[in-house]
Structure 1
């Protein structure tokens, strides 16, 4: 009779968290320890010890595990946290402790990432702290005071009782993060801000609130959870993103907001597809479409395009084309006046870019006609303005990759050059990975000057 697996304690330390993530992704991919060990060429006993935080995982092994398990870089990121903690502790043991300076800010030593701050009584448990405080101990901010967010001098002040203006602040912050994330990507300062404000928003749920403000507060936190999750997804902080999206879905359900609930499930679907689990992504998209009669045509189109992307990754040609058709039919009925204001981003450019990604997989993986995806990518690139520079860069890069794989490499190189002009200004892991894919495809055309120059520019951009 097999022994039961040891219960892991991911909140104990970064190394424990890394081990728990290895086990999580191994099971997600349906692999036994011995099978995974063989794929990365280590002993099963070493892998078991890494999962139990009884042995160190090197950078090269973390990168191999990410590649085999298709995590999107989760384990390499976790390895970096382990290294930072080790270096920090080594530094602390090598220098004398001079004691606190007068007027200095005291930080609370955390467990999982050594950056956790103390939360007020009644705040969410370790699962939420682990995700939302993972990269920042930042305090809350009002839209007027970004400096206080980046360098807080005191714990966040919570209102004695929720008021309408507090809820309006949550919406204003969500709008700010959404705008900056789409223009610049989810890394850098945008990521820092996103991590910090989620701590504040979650604690607001424990503040006394009048009955008529309960639903609006939960809807506001759901909206913020979606934009924070989107930012964390873009910077490959996948666990943070998953929990933010799930919190958003729960808050939206409690608020009775079917549109926000659908948006949360749409992002859960897209993230699952991105990290290599299209089956789960399809399930999330279907969950979002529950009671589709309560959703606007635009939101239905958004979810149908997520279904199409899942089917595309599965290589299911007929189901992908049917889902793209359903998305087009829904979008044809769109009326901006019926949509919530935060859906204004889903315009013609966004719709064509989303559906083009599904058709891209059919062209590259199944040999289908690339012209259908190419035309949609062209509409997306032409239609996205500077406010959505990341979407324009990603669609342009994918369009170039499509033509590099199944079209004219000279045209692909020219389109890739334009996409690089946008991508070079972003802090987006997704955009960077798409550039790597384009660079790999361009290798097929060694000796073609345009493709060689494009590869050089991609390499320089990624290094920068």
Structure 2
């Protein structure tokens, strides 16, 4: 890693290799060691350990043992080695039968409807066969074309006249929307890695033949809207489980499909999802641009809940840029819009956005702005006891726990460690089934900040419980 650069983001739920690297990084930081210092202590090169941490080199059982002993992990890394070894065997088999380099598949804005269908199928194929696009980086410069095309062009005037044998009717559309609701529910509850492979198979084997089938213009427009929603879900699942470049590609194709359908409200929703990803990656400029495009688009959608979500995510992006006044104003617009919403009249894909979700977005904005008291005050209205949306629960709880712990700008004496541990303990039952890299990142952030108090019984207990949940003893 080049000095001065941010560490490569790890995505533990992608694979055992990433999980191993994330745990090495976590325990090294926990013990206050630099990469070079750890290398000297265990007699391995700094370069090798850097590759292990960034999941670009396979660890050996001998290395895992040495790291466990020096970092005093309790055997966490050695317990991961069997899963890493199995993954290495699978990767070797795939490499032997790999397809050509996919290049920039999925990033371009297809010129016509037929090209859009082809691009989506190509992206799904590259994903299914685990070509290098799976590990692609998120590219801020790749947002310019789709954002510009969305804002300046109208919906496609004509759908293709397909000759496929598959006839598509109203019953097919009902099934597509029902499946999109089921996939969204799984994503909300357990995170992006839970049903992603199933969704991918559905896109390739069920949706793609429909897009190449026979349908009227009216049915076709809604068919492409359903395709846009399913592609958007694929993008969000990738984003949440750490596959950022792949997620960006699905989002771009979802936006293209939404343009074909003429579904402006859905397009605004996709832009908002893209803004959330840019925010998560700390790209404030891009997050603001995407959120503002969503706010501009959603005016034509007639959906108060969609308007509220667009402004709420814009508030979070502005908070990341430390624009307090504009962020507060955007939240006010979100509150006004949500007051006009009627749940049963809203599209299925935005019905989750309610007062609780808006309060949670407000909490995230306050956290970005360093408003410690506001974050803590939000606890009463963010429904952290609601276990049905586990990912939101984990993200909210870790955000709420953070202000109870010291940061470089706060006094250790003002910390409420027991309260932070109590909050963290609430989410331990969810950890084994959670497949959200964002959620795990939030948990590990709190774990690192608790190291100052590692000798306290409550800290020791919650750390042991978390480790047991994340890496169960065989």
- Contact 1:136-1:192 at 8 Å conserved across structures: no
Q: Output the CA distance in 2 between the equivalents of 1:453 and 1:316.
A: 40
Residue 60 of structure 1 is aligned with which of 50, 58, 71?
Answer: 50
Deviation at 1:159, TM superposition (A): 4.9
Is residue 367 of structure 2 the alignment partner of residue 360 of structure 1?
yes
Residue ranges of structure 2 left out of the alignment (5+ in a row): 1-34, 37-46, 57-84, 106-113, 131-163
Once structures 1 and 2 are overlaid, which stretch shifts more, 346-355 or 311-320? 311-320
What residue number does 2:391 align with? 390
Q: Output the CA distance in 2 between the equivalents of 1:217 and 1:89.
A: 34
- Contact 1:184-1:426 at 8 Å conserved across structures: yes
Is residue 461 of structure 2 the alignment partner of residue 453 of structure 1?
yes
Q: Output the CA distance in 1 between the equivalents of 2:94 and 2:191.
A: 32
Q: Label 1:292 to 1:419 Cα distance change in 2 as closer, same or farther (>3 A).
A: same
Q: Output the CA distance in 2 between the equivalents of 1:123 and 1:306.
A: 28
Q: Output the CA distance in 2 between the equivalents of 1:281 and 1:379.
A: 26
What residue number does 1:195 align with? 200
Q: Output the CA distance in 1 between the equivalents of 2:309 and 2:276.
A: 11
SS of the counterpart of 1:334? coil
Q: Label 1:346 to 1:86 Cα distance change in 2 as closer, same or farther (>3 A).
A: closer
What residue number does 1:134 align with? 127
What residue number does 2:21 align with? none
Q: Output the CA distance in 2 between the equivalents of 1:339 and 1:276.
A: 31
SS of the counterpart of 1:134? helix
What residue number does 2:187 align with? 181
- Contact 2:265-2:298 at 8 Å conserved across structures: no
What residue number does 2:345 align with? 338
Q: Label 1:320 to 1:447 Cα distance change in 2 as closer, same or farther (>3 A).
A: farther
Is residue 199 of structure 2 the alignment partner of residue 205 of structure 1?
no
Residue 434 of structure 1 is aligned with which of 442, 449, 457?
Answer: 442
Residue 325 of structure 2 is aligned with which of 309, 312, 318?
Answer: 318
Residue ranges of structure 1 left out of the alignment (5+ in a row): 1-39, 42-56, 67-79, 93-107, 138-157
Residue 233 of structure 1 is aligned with which of 239, 243, 257?
Answer: 239
Matches within 5 A, 1:36-435: 60-61=50-51, 63=53, 87-88=92-93, 110-112=99-101, 124-125=117-118, 129-130=122-123, 133-135=126-128, 159-188=165-194, 190-200=195-205, 201-295=207-301, 296-363=303-370, 368=371, 370-382=372-384, 385-405=386-406, 407-435=415-443
Q: Deviations over 1:410-461 (max 9, x none)?
A: 2111111112223343122111111111111111223332233223333333
Deviation at 1:65, TM superposition (A): 10
- Contact 1:195-1:228 at 8 Å conserved across structures: yes
Q: Output the CA distance in 2 between the equivalents of 1:129 and 1:58.
A: 35
What residue number does 2:64 align with? none
Greater relative contact order (CA < 8 Å, ≥ 6 in sequence):
2
- Contact 1:161-1:207 at 8 Å conserved across structures: yes
- Contact 1:308-1:320 at 8 Å conserved across structures: yes
Q: Output the CA distance in 1 between the equivalents of 2:88 and 2:284.
A: 32
Deviation at 1:323, TM superposition (A): 2.4
- Contact 2:166-2:210 at 8 Å conserved across structures: no
Q: Deviations over 1:225-257 (max 9, x none)?
A: 222222222211222321222222222222222
Aligned pair count? 349
Q: Output the CA distance in 2 between the equivalents of 1:315 and 1:347.
A: 26
Q: Label 1:410 to 1:244 Cα distance change in 2 as closer, same or farther (>3 A).
A: same
- Contact 2:167-2:210 at 8 Å conserved across structures: no
Q: Output the CA distance in 2 between the equivalents of 1:386 and 1:362.
A: 28
Deviation at 1:131, TM superposition (A): 5.1
Q: Deviations over 1:315-355 (max 9, x none)?
A: 33333333223322322332224311222211222111122
User: Normalised by the size of structure 2, how large is the TM-score?
Assistant: 0.65
Q: Output the CA distance in 2 between the equivalents of 1:424 and 1:359.
A: 29
Q: Deviations over 1:241-277 (max 9, x none)?
A: 2122222222222222221111101100001111221
- Contact 1:131-1:240 at 8 Å conserved across structures: no
In angstroms, what is the RMSD of aligned CA positions?
3.4
